[in-house]
């Protein structure tokens, strides 16, 4: 059985392995011991805090295989972004060059540096190790976050975003960044990506072009990848689009990958979720359907995918003894859950 729980300091070695396997372009997990240990400590502190409104909290979770004790994936939520340091994007817009006298009308695409997403919540740091990519593991690692946010809305912003990894090759070279590197930065994409991951963003403000960039001036290769995702990121993007996320014209300043957003109340898994007390009954639970389930705790948080049955008449949910143990709940305690297959 795979369960999701808050990260703890003893998970450092596992998190380091995940960071190495995730590769270049996975900005939120750079291979840096000081930063990774800091991330763990910050997450532990966030789970301990009593919260009335979102602030500088970071919730980092791991997926654990209960049979082996191995950590096979990570997933995170930033309560707010851009409050302590600038959070940059390019916004894709247009300008019109028009001359009535000459009868010339040209619409031109531009990229404008902005901080429009300051203060929103971000889902991030999602990575599932190759060995665990089966069944519902990948979807659980993404979707449980919507249940957690629905259960604890005071901890998060109404707007939720996700930055999708843009196009880069096996060496980590980004066509979009190559143009910026040549004209403004004089450093390769892996270096810029690493500096951002460890929190060193001063160079962005110092070196990034201050005025809107005319897209037509970029290389053809750079133009072609604006708003496009890495091949390995396509399934994650599709999953979020099914949840109601969409791109509003914001892209990453390094690789041009799209940022998608949704209102928390409109995310389909959150909308479809229910909160009911548990009754442990293996037979009745087995008659139900697959669901994603979380307990309602913070420090003792647990999530998993399991078969359960809902009794609308009794206003309870039937769980197997194994699932209840995995969630660390007993008879009468509440859980929040949503069907694995949402109705269209």
Residues designated catalytic: 230
Helix (H) or strand (E) holding 256: none
> Are 31 and 46 spatial neighbours (Cβ–Cβ below 8 Å)?
no
For 38, phi then psi, to 5°, come to -65, -40
3-class state of residue 113 by DSSP: strand
Separation of first and last alpha carbons in the chain:
29
- The H-or-E segment that residue 312 falls in is none
Which tokens is 245 given?
A: 């996320």
User: CA dist 214 to 72, 137, 208, 264, Å?
Assistant: 43, 42, 14, 34
Q: Tokens 């647990």 sit at which residue?
A: 302
Q: CA-CA distances (angstroms) from residue 289 to 60, 234, 268?
A: 28, 27, 18
**CA-closest candidate to residue 218, choices 249, 168, 172, 175:** 175
Using the 8-state DSSP alphabet, how is residue 209 labeled?
A: -
3 state SS of 267: coil
């Amino acid at each position: 059985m795979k369960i999701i729980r808050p990260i703890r300091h003893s998970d450092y070695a596992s998190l380091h392995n995940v960071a190495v396997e995730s590769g270049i372009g996975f900005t939120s997990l750079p291979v840096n011991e000081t930063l990774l240990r800091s991330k763990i400590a910050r997450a532990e502190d966030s789970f301990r805090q009593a919260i009335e409104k979102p602030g500088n909290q970071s919730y980092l979770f791991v997926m654990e295989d209960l049979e082996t004790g191995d950590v096979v994936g990570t997933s995170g939520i930033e309560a707010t972004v851009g409050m302590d340091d600038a959070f940059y994007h390019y916004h894709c817009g247009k300008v019109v060059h028009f001359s009535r006298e000459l009868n010339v009308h040209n619409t031109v695409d531009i990229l404008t540096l902005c901080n429009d997403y300051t203060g929103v919540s971000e889902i991030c740091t999602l990575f599932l190790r190759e060995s665990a990519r089966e069944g519902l593991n990948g979807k659980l690692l993404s979707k449980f976050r919507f249940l957690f946010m629905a259960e604890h809305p005071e901890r998060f912003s109404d707007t939720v975003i996700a930055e999708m990894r843009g196009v880069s090759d096996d060496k980590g070279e980004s066509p979009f960044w190559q143009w910026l590197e040549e004209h403004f930065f004089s450093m390769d994409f892996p270096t810029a990506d690493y500096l951002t991951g460890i929190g060193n963003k001063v160079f962005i403000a110092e070196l990034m072009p201050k005025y809107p960039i005319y897209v037509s001036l970029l290389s053809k290769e750079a133009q072609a990848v604006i708003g496009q995702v890495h091949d390995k990121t396509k399934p994650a993007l599709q999953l979020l689009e099914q949840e109601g996320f969409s791109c509003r014209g914001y892209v990453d300043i390094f690789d041009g990958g799209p940022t998608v957003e949704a209102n928390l109340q409109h995310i389909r898994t959150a909308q479809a979720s229910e909160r009911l007390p548990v009754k442990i009954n293996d037979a009745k639970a087995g008659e139900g359907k697959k669901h994603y389930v979380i307990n309602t705790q913070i420090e003792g948080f647990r999530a998993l995918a399991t078969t359960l049955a809902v009794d609308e008449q009794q206003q309870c949910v039937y769980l197997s003894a194994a699932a209840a143990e995995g969630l660390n709940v007993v008879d009468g305690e509440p859980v929040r859950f949503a069907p694995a297959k949402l109705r269209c």
